[in-house]
């Protein structure tokens, strides 16, 4: 059995500038580095023979020199495991780039940094093929067909777009091209979501990013472990979670609650039930929903103070438990205000505008009750 690990789109050097709590930025960068190291250590733990990195190991084409040195040292420490890197659209190769031979990459690292080429590994009964980005875009496919060899695995490493190839400037890869490649396995990078598929006799997969970078990369993240067994043309694939933290988004109904303490208790109970006792490590986007009593004093700032998760974004989509239609029938200042705003809600052109006017209605009614707070 030959074990191979696939990791991609690490984006070392990513700034994590979009956090709700900016003071956490450095910690997230440390998390990313730790996940990268954990992947290397996992390779050693399972006695992997190869580590495939199909692009965007770095977040930029000119990463900090000290970071490059740290990565080189880390790869050197896992020798004799061979590291196969294909440059991506974020960390493309160019004259004088960090991928140059002069940069002293360890002997166990092979870099695909231009046209389609190969590295034969007869001791493992396989050949690794690959190509790399030399600019931010690669508008024509870098994938080329390979010759068939009996009892010999053909593995490809590429950064590219296999899901929107018609108009993609990022090495477009059609299903027909992949099926005609002659590869047993194609390790792909570029899409940050874990996806596995089949085209003809070729199996291919995106490992997804090993550590999320934002709320567009939610859930468990990690690496793929490929088990190539004698007599089998394709590997058995296992996902290994490695991320230090997860980005998660959910809705929580606060109906009937009237205080920050009660709301925080419900939220904590929900998060613990969904994500286990370590939920405080995660980053959450929480949509607060439900009907609140007219006298409710639930504030976003007050809630955040009682929810010590790593990073938190609250979206208040609650509304007051009031019969607005009945209130609008009253010939009073409150009734006339309600009637006017209900008309705005009815004629809203989209959900964002509707929510805007609903918020205005709830705040206005609170003001009339002299209970105006920062609840929304």
> Measured on CA atoms in the order 229, 233, 238, 240, is the torsion positive or negative?
positive
For residues 60 and 114, state if they share a domain: yes
Q: Is the pLDDT of residue 70 over 90?
A: yes
Cβ-proximal residues to 265 (8 Å cutoff; 6+ apart), any chain = none
* pLDDT tier for residue 203 given thresholds of 50, 70 and 90: very high
Has residue 376 got a pLDDT over 50? no
Mean pLDDT of the chain: 94
Same domain, 207 and 251: no
User: Do residues 247 and 282 make contact, with C-beta atoms less than 8 angstroms apart?
Assistant: yes
Q: What's the pLDDT tens digit per position in 226-277?
A: 999 998 999 999 999 999 999 999 999 999 999 999 999 999 999 999 999 9
Residue 28 has pLDDT above 90, yes or no: yes
Q: Which two tokens stand for residue 33?
A: 């580095």
Last residue of a domain, one of 241, 276, 292: 241
Determine the pLDDT at residue 374: 46
Report the CATH number at residue 100: 3.60.21.10
Report yes or no on 373 lying in a domain: no
Average pLDDT over residues 203-227: 97
Domain boundary among 196, 223, 241: 241
Give the pLDDT of residue 375. Answer: 44
Q: Does one domain contain both 207 and 315?
A: no
Residues 105 and 232 in one domain: yes
Q: Are residues 210 and 343 in the same domain?
A: no
Is the distance from CB of 81 to CB of 108 less than 8 angstroms?
A: yes
What is the tally of structural domains in the chain?
2
* pLDDT for the residue numbered 370: 52
In-domain check, residue 375: no
Q: How far apart are CA 23 and CA 37, in angstroms?
A: 23
Could you give the count of Cα atoms lying within 13 Å of 41 in the half-sphere of its Cβ?
Answer: 7
Q: Which of 189, 216, 241 is the C-terminal boundary of a domain?
A: 241
282 and 224 both lie in a single domain: no
34-41 average pLDDT score: 98
Please state, in angstroms and rounded to a whole number, the distance separating the CA atoms of residues 32 and 227.
26
DSSP assignments along 15-38, one per residue? --TT-SSGGGHHHHHHHHHHHHHH
Inside any domain, residue 168: yes
pLDDT per residue as tens digits for the range 81-115 = 999 999 999 999 999 999 998 789 999 999 999 99
- The pLDDT-based confidence of 369 (bands split at 50, 70, 90) is low
Q: How confident is the model at residue 190 (pLDDT cuts 50, 70, 90)?
A: very high
Same domain? For 143 and 42 the reply is: yes
The domain in which residue 281 lies consists of 247-368
Burial group, residue 334, by CB count within 10 angstroms (0-12, 13-18, 19+): middle
- Per cent of the chain over pLDDT 70 is 98
Would 376 be classed as within a structural domain?
Answer: no
Residue 374 covered by a domain: no
Could you tell me whether strands 202-206 and 195-199 are parallel, antiparallel, or unpaired per DSSP bridges? antiparallel
- Confirm whether 325 is domain-assigned: yes
Least confident of 105-119, 175-189, 296-310, 315-329: 315-329
Between these two residues, 356 and 263, which has the higher pLDDT value? Answer: 263
Write out pLDDT tens, residues 117-145: 999 999 999 999 999 999 999 999 999 99
Per cent of the chain over pLDDT 90 is 84
Q: Most distant CA pair in the chain: distance in Å?
A: 88
Distance CA 134, CA 115 (A): 9
Query: Do 264 and 363 lie in a common domain?
Result: yes
pTM to 2 decimal places? 0.90
Give the per-residue pLDDT at 294.
83
Within 26-149, strands assigned E span 50-53, 82-86, 109-112, 117-121, 126-130
Does residue 113 fall inside a structural domain? Answer: yes
- Residues 201, 251 share a domain: no
Residue 359 pLDDT level (bands cut at 50, 70, 90): confident
Residue 273 lies in a domain: yes
pLDDT band of residue 320 (cuts 50, 70, 90) is: confident
No. of helices (H) and no. of strands (E), the chain: 8, 17
Same-domain check for residues 109 and 230: yes
| Whether 152 and 195 share a structural domain | yes
Same domain, yes or no, for 236 and 304?
A: no
């Amino acid at each position: 059995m030959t074990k191979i690990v696939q990791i991609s789109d690490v984006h070392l050097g990513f700034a994590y500038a979009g956090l709700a709590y900016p003071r956490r930025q450095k910690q997230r960068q440390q998390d990313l580095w730790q996940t990268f190291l954990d992947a290397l250590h996992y390779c050693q733990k399972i006695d992997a023979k190869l580590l495939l990195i199909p692009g965007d190991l770095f977040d930029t084409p000119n990463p900090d020199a000290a970071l490059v040195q740290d990565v080189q040292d880390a790869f050197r420490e896992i020798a004799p495991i061979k590291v196969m890197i294909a440059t991506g659209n974020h960390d493309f190769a160019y004259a004088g780039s960090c991928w140059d031979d002069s940069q002293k990459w360890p002997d166990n690292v092979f870099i695909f940094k231009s046209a389609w080429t190969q590295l034969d590994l007869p001791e493992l009964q396989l050949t690794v093929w690959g190509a790399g980005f030399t600019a931010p875009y690669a508008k024509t496919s870098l994938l080329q067909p390979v010759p068939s060899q009996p009892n010999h695995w053909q593995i490809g490493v590429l950064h590219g777009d296999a899901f929107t190839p018609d108009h993609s400037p990022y090495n477009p890869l059609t299903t027909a091209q992949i099926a005609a490649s002659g590869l047993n396995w194609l390790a792909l990078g570029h899409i940050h979501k874990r996806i596995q598929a089949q085209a003809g006799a070729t199996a291919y997969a995106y490992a997804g990013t090993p550590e999320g970078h934002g709320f567009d990369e939610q859930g468990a993240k990690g690496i793929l472990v490929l088990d190539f067994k004698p007599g089998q043309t394709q590997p058995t694939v296992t996902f290994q979670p490695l991320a230090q933290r997860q980005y998660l988004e959910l809705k929580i109904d606060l109906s009937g609650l009237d205080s920050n303490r009660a709301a925080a208790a419900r939220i904590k109970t929900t998060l613990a039930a969904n994500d286990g006792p370590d939920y405080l490590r995660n980053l959450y986007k929480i949509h607060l929903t439900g009907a609140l009593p007219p006298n409710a004093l639930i504030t976003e700032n007050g809630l955040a103070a009682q929810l010590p998760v790593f990073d938190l974004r609250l979206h208040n989509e609650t509304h007051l438990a009031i019969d607005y239609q009945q209130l609008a029938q009253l010939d009073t200042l409150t009734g006339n205000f309600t009637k006017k705003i209900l008309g705005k809600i009815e004629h809203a052109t989209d959900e964002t505008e509707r929510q805007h006017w609903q918020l205005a209605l709830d705040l206005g009614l609170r003001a009339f009750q002299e209970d105006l707070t920062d609840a929304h």
